[in-house]
């Protein structure tokens, strides 16, 4: 009898474990913070890709995960199940039928114990979702050639490429030969970069020169080796291969934990990784077994260093700028050394899981980029190398991701053709003095211009077939091929017919990053009046440092109201204590305090957006971002800061601000321009840039205390002498609530300021503005449900803007609530 009981108990326990019984192993399902990628698909999500990308919180004591995806909430009908998942992300290797699904996951520890199942989340796969299954690990790695080369070209493709070098691609081939001959005549130095002296001030001028100089030194040596090795494969010229080998092996002697090490200076370590991999795979046949072993040892040490820093962090704590590009350099290293170096296969698998499940982090499918234009074309420009490497090595098209079918609109709307500087995001405006040679000598331009996007836009247009983007690049000289050996291996894949943007709306919201680009035309920046407005749920983290509810104004090719300061070293005193601060932007501070700076927790949001042929309207909310103190002592200053931008194209911008403080407060309105403001009272302000002016009328509140200065706090390095002008308008008394109503009229040449009549009534304000023979009427309610009427219009909490002819006939009316 005892034997039967024991046997029954054993069977019961076995069944319980098999069915997911837990003996104290707890699943951490704590909600994702603003710093974390989050559970995906999120509850109720409509997935743009099929299969969806799954992601959940990693857990140290879990070694494997199990995932179930069902068409019934009780999981009685399982459509997809996967077990033995090592990472906290998963993309199935097959397409799922369209429809509604429910998913859950659980973990397993080393002893074989399971956690309980997670909470259930539902999502929908629409019929038109993009098909992007990720092949299994085994299948994926089997696609990589066992022989060399492996990056951007496969061994079996070499004969065809050699023929193309004699024919259709001879001009590109001749350029490769010319470059290699120059390298032969003047080989790059392979002296190991120096460590920073202990006495050197971090972020100082000399430190910065060495920091960036070491990056350029690495690229010159190892990209030179890659160029020589690739061209050797095409030409058979042994002198190219021999010099490539010399450069590679001499760089292999550098200390992987020294000045070129990833953890010491990632700006040197990242390019070392990918260019070393390329050079190795191109001259593999010229290396002896002993020399290959040296290279494999370098790859093992440097790859492990990167992988241990990035995994699993980048699969969950994803919002770190450099990490967000370091992983695909590691992926190139993995491809080159797959099957040869311990861990290399895992680096490839990790990079592909990031590609399919956690990319891009700085945007969603709408195509914006939180870090701004400069970092957009820089980072996506590097990612396209990875995309082409994946296509070559594994026959997968990562440009099929929905993001890439929207990405080009970011350049079109933010930077119309002819634009000679960007505005939002670090590095968007670099003048000669902040482009301190050789700090950023890798780039081709001193300023961020629309033309800087042409190489990336050329690739995006060709990969997606988007005719609007093709038109964009043709306005600035036409498509640009990838330079060097990548361009030879992967010329633009097709000729796309240009489509003029006349049927596109001139304004666009990139909701995922909280950026509204309001334009009068997309054809030419010199004819455009543009308002940029940002209120982002991604906060002010990384290089997207603008406070929510900040705006900038351009007109006819001139910067009028700008974001200020200089970006020459990330986190330097001027950058951290001026550029990151709300007071450096066209925004409002409260009792001298701005929004929490440089933080994912400094969140705003675009509450509403509408665009019409004559009127655009956008509303942002930023009250939550005004907090002071820290930890338990932290408290909010505002219950709301609602800013509405009403753009009557092309000649009038109305900015309506509503602030509600938690204690009586003083409010300061900040504006910034390139040149000194002309001021004769708060309703007679003008800023001028070139032949373009902007009249500014601060209609409410009254009795603002005006001042201006051309000094930053703190000022930048002494070498940087350029200064902007900063106007501050401060309320004369403290109050709990305050409304600001300000008009801006940009124009060429000499024009009189607009005539404006503002009347305060029960429920808000009625504004009438004369524009020559035409007029604009706006109802500006002071509460979300306030009744307000005037000038033949009525509202119940909505902002109403109407454009009228000289005879008073309504041409266009836009209504927008504070939260739609």
Whether the bond into 438 is cis, omega within 30 of 0: yes
pLDDT at res. 432: 61
13 or 309: which leads in pLDDT: 309
Strands (E) in 520-676, as ranges, are 529-534, 550-555, 558-561, 588-590, 605-611, 615-621, 627-628, 635-636, 638-648, 652-665, 667-673
- Per-residue model confidence as pLDDT tens digits over 155-177: 999 999 999 999 999 999 999 99
CA distance 50 to 137: 18
pLDDT at res. 632: 76
Question: Is 401:49 a contact under the CB 8 Å cutoff?
Answer: yes
The secondary structure element, H or E, covering residue 106 is strand 99-108
The first and second tokens of residue 76, run together, are 């009685």
The secondary structure element, H or E, covering residue 275 is helix 266-282
The first and second tokens of residue 319, run together, are 């919002």
- Work out the mean pLDDT of the chain and round it to a whole number: 94
pLDDT at res. 425: 95
Average pLDDT over residues 273-296: 98
Whole-model pTM? 0.94
Which residue matches tokens 């009744």? 787
251 or 440: which leads in pLDDT: 251
Q: DSSP characters for 209-263?
A: HHHHHHHHHHHHHHHHHHHHHHHHHHH--HHHHHHHHHHHHHHHTS-TTSTTSTT
Closest among 792, 791, 795, 737 to 769, alpha carbons compared: 791
Average pLDDT over residues 440-469: 82
- Per-residue model confidence as pLDDT tens digits over 594-625: 999 999 999 999 999 999 999 999 999 999 99
CA distance 336 to 292: 12
pLDDT at res. 428: 85
- Per-residue model confidence as pLDDT tens digits over 183-228: 999 999 999 999 999 999 988 888 988 999 999 999 999 999 999 9
pLDDT at res. 431: 62
pLDDT at res. 118: 98
The first and second tokens of residue 353, run together, are 């899981």
DSSP state of 593: B
Q: Flag whether pLDDT at 745 surpasses 50.
A: yes
Q: Flag whether pLDDT at 680 surpasses 70.
A: yes
Average pLDDT over residues 89-96: 98
CA distance 752 to 759: 22
Closest among 463, 612, 551, 609 to 740, alpha carbons compared: 551
Q: Flag whether pLDDT at 402 surpasses 50.
A: yes
306 or 752: which leads in pLDDT: 306
pLDDT at res. 433: 59
pLDDT band of residue 719 (cuts 50, 70, 90) is confident
- Per-residue model confidence as pLDDT tens digits over 468-508: 999 999 999 999 999 999 999 999 988 899 999 999 999 99
Q: Flag whether pLDDT at 8 surpasses 60.
A: no
Largest Cα span, the chain: 106
The secondary structure element, H or E, covering residue 725 is strand 725-730
Q: Which sign does the torsion angle of CA 345, 346, 349, 354 carry?
A: negative
Nearby residues of 578 by Cβ (< 8 Å), 6 or more positions away: 564, 565, 584, 712, 713, 714
pLDDT at res. 735: 98
pLDDT band of residue 436 (cuts 50, 70, 90) is low
Determine the angle formed by the axes of helices 205-235 and 158-166, rounding to 10 degrees.
90
**In 371-512, where does DSSP find H-type helix?**
373-394, 408-414, 454-464, 467-474, 484-489
Please return the burial class of 601, using the count of CB atoms within 10 Å of its CB with bins 0-12, 13-18 and 19+.
middle
Share of the chain above pLDDT 90, in %: 89
pLDDT at res. 23: 54
Map residue 141 onto helix, strand or coil: helix
Closest among 337, 456, 452, 322 to 388, alpha carbons compared: 456
Q: DSSP characters for 530-573?
A: EEEEE--TTTT-TT--PPTTEEEEEETTEEEE------SSTT-H
């Amino acid at each position: 009898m005892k034997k039967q009981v024991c046997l029954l108990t054993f069977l019961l326990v076995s069944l319980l474990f098999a069915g997911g019984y837990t003996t104290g192993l707890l699943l951490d399902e704590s909600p994702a913070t603003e710093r974390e990628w989050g559970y995906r698909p999120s509850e109720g999500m409509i997935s743009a890709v099929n299969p969806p990308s799954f992601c959940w919180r990693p857990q140290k004591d879990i070694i494997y995960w199990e995932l179930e995806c069902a068409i019934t909430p009780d999981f009685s009908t399982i459509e997809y199940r996967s077990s033995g998942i090592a990472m906290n992300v998963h993309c199935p290797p097959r397409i799922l039928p369209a429809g509604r699904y429910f998913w859950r996951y659980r973990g397993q520890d080393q002893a074989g114990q399971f956690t309980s199942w997670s909470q259930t989340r539902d999502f929908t796969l629409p019929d038109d979702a993009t098909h992007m299954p990720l092949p299994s690990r085994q299948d994926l790695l089997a696609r990589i050639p066992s022989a060399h080369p492996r990056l951007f070209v496969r061994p079996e493709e070499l004969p065809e490429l050699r023929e193309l070098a004699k024919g259709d691609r001879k001009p590109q081939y001749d350029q490769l030969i010319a470059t290699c001959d120059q390298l032969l005549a003047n080989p790059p130095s392979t002296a190991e970069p120096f460590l920073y002296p202990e006495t050197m001030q971090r972020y100082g001028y000399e430190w910065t020169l060495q920091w960036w100089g070491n990056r350029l030194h690495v690229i010159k040596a190892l990209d030179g080796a890659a160029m020589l090795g690739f061209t050797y494969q095409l030409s058979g010229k042994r002198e190219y291969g021999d010099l490539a080998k010399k450069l590679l092996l001499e760089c292999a002697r550098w200390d992987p934990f020294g000045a070129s090490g990833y953890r010491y200076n990632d700006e040197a370590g990242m390019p070392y990784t990918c260019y070393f991999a390329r050079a190795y795979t191109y001259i593999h046949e010229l290396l002896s077994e002993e020399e290959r072993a040296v290279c494999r040892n370098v790859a093992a040490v440097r790859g492990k260093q990167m992988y241990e820093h990035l995994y699993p962090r980048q699969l969950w704590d994803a919002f770190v700028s450099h990490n967000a590009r370091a992983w695909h350099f590691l992926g190139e290293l993995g491809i080159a050394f797959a099957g040869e170096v311990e861990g290399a296969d895992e680096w490839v698998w990790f990079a592909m899981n990031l590609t399919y499940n956690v990319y891009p982090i700085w945007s969603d499918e709408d195509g914006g980029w939180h870090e701004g234009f400069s970092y957009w074309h820089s980072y996506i420009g590097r990612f396209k190398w990875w995309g082409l490497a994946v296509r070559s090595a594994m026959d997968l098209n990562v440009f099929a991701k929905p993001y890439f079918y929207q990405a080009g609109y970011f350049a079109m709307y933010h930077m119309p053709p002819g634009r000679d500087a960007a505005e939002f995001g670090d590095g968007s405006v670099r003048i000669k003095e902040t482009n301190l040679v050789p700090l950023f000598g890798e780039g081709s331009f001193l300023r961020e211009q629309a033309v800087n996007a042409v190489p990336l836009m050329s690739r995006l247009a060709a990969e997606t077939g988007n005719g609007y983007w093709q038109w964009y690049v043709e306005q600035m000289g036409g498509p640009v091929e990838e330079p060097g050996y990548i361009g030879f291996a992967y010329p633009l894949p097709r000729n796309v017919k240009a489509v003029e943007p006349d049927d596109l709306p001139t304004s666009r919201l990139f909701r995922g990053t909280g950026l509204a680009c309001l334009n009068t035309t997309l054809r030419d920046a010199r004819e455009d009046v543009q308002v940029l407005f940002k209120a982002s749920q991604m906060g002010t983290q990384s290089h997207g440092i603008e406070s929510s509810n900040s705006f900038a104004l351009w007109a006819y090719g001139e910067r009028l109201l700008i974001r200020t300061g200089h970006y020459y070293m990330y986190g330097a005193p001027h950058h951290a204590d001026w550029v990151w601060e709300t007071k450096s932007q066209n925004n409002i501070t409260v009792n001298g305090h701005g929004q929490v700076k440089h933080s994912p927790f400094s969140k705003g949001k675009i509450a509403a957006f509408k665009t019409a042929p004559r009127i655009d309207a956008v509303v942002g909310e930023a009250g939550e971002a005004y907090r002071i103190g820290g930890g338990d002592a932290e408290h909010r200053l505002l219950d709301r800061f609602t800013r509405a931008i009403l753009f009557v194209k092309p000649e009038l911008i109305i900015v309506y601000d509503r602030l509600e403080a938690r204690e009586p407060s003083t409010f300061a309105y900040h504006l910034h321009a390139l040149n000194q403001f002309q001021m004769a009272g708060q309703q007679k302000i003008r800023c001028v840039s070139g032949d373009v002016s902007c009249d500014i009328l601060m209609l409410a509140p009254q009795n603002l205390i005006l001042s201006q200065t051309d000094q930053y706090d703190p000022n930048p390095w002494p070498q940087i002498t350029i200064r902007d002008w900063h106007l501050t308008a401060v309320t004369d008394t403290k109050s709990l609530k305050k409304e600001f109503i300000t008009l801006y009229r940009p124009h060429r040449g000499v024009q009189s300021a607009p005539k404006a009549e503002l009347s305060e009534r029960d429920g808000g304000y009625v504004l009438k503005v004369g524009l020559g023979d035409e007029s604009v009427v706006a109802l500006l309610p002071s509460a979300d449900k306030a009744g307000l009427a005037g000038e033949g219009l009525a509202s119940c909490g909505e902002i109403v803007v109407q454009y009228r002819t000289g005879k008073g006939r309504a041409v266009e009316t836009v209504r927008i609530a504070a939260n739609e």
